[in-house]
Amino acid sequence: MLSRTADHLFWMARYMERADNAAQPRCAEGKTPRRASARAGFSA
């Protein structure tokens, strides 16, 4: 059961990383780094 949970966490992290990387080019159009705008309280 522990290995199954670890496997699910691994794949969830992979999918989150892929989604994050896919979102970056769209965020770059606004010329504000996505992470900096998130810290400032702005949402895309």
Q: Map 22-37 to HEC letters.
A: HHHHHHHCCCCCHHHH
**Confidence at residue 26, expressed as pLDDT on a 0 to 100 scale:** 62
Contacts of 43 (CB under 8 A, 6+ apart): 37
Per-residue pLDDT at 8: 96
CA 20, CA 27: separation in Å to the nearest integer? 10
DSSP-derived 3-state class of residue 44:
coil
Q: So what's the pLDDT on residue 11?
A: 96
pLDDT of residue 17: 93
Q: What is the pLDDT of residues 2-34, one digit of tens each?
A: 899 999 999 999 999 999 888 877 655 665 555
Rounded to two decimals, what is the model's pTM? 0.49
Are 23 and 34 in contact by the 8 Å Cβ rule? The answer is yes
Q: What is the CA radius of gyration of the chain?
A: 15
